[in-house]
Structure 1
């Protein structure tokens, strides 16, 4: 989407750099979050799952940025980020239940 927006709209260079930087940060956090969540679930340890939960919160804030404060917001952005926020919420609830189960 950001490539499409940079080609079709006059994107200020500083805003494009900020949006791309935050997008790459979100991708890196997502990979680490998924890795920690998978490892915590497979090994049944609370620490990786808790770390994954914290990274989920970080990604929620980045998703809200792309939903509200991005330079150009298209309808597709609203749909994609809305679905992403719902999935993050479900994942956070499931991670909390899983951590509570591992504590027992």
Structure 2
């Protein structure tokens, strides 16, 4: 136990310190707004492409199903990220790290492998992948900080 002041009683400084990452929380909040834009833009582009181009059988359905799967994954991923960072727990952030890999793969699908890739697809997916990459770095830093302090 360390004493904080001359007249204060002995207080455990580790329990009083806030370890939550403000930059990580900021990128999570930005990700929410950007992902809403990303989803709407991608959905509208898929609709546009379905009207302008002819899709092979099943490809339109695959693009839409993967987009819905990506939304579900994003909600679960961000929930665990917010929870882990704010409660300073390692397990939810590790879950977020693993789910981010899945989100990155889905974003790569829309960047490289979907039926028709427009320039707008490339731009919005590159930005999303950059956000994911920054989140991964900040997640690893947060996990290492929490693990070092609490073990």
* TM-score, normalised by the number of residues in structure 2: 0.67
4+ residue stretches of structure 1 with deviation over 2 A?
none
Give the match for residue 73 of structure 1. 117
Structure in which a larger fraction of residues adopt helix: 1
> Structure 1 unaligned runs (5+)?
none
2:127 to 74, 83, 91: 83
Once the two structures are TM-superposed, the CA of residue 34 in structure 1 deviates from its matched residue by: 0.5
> Structure 2 unaligned runs (5+)?
1-44
1:59 to 95, 100, 103: 103
What number of residue pairs does the alignment pair up?
A: 104
Say which one has the larger Rg: 2
Give the match for residue 25 of structure 1. 69
Q: Deviations over 1:36-91 (max 9, x none)?
A: 10011111100000000100000111111111110000000000011111110000
* TM-score, normalised by the number of residues in structure 1: 0.96
CA RMSD in angstroms comes to 0.8
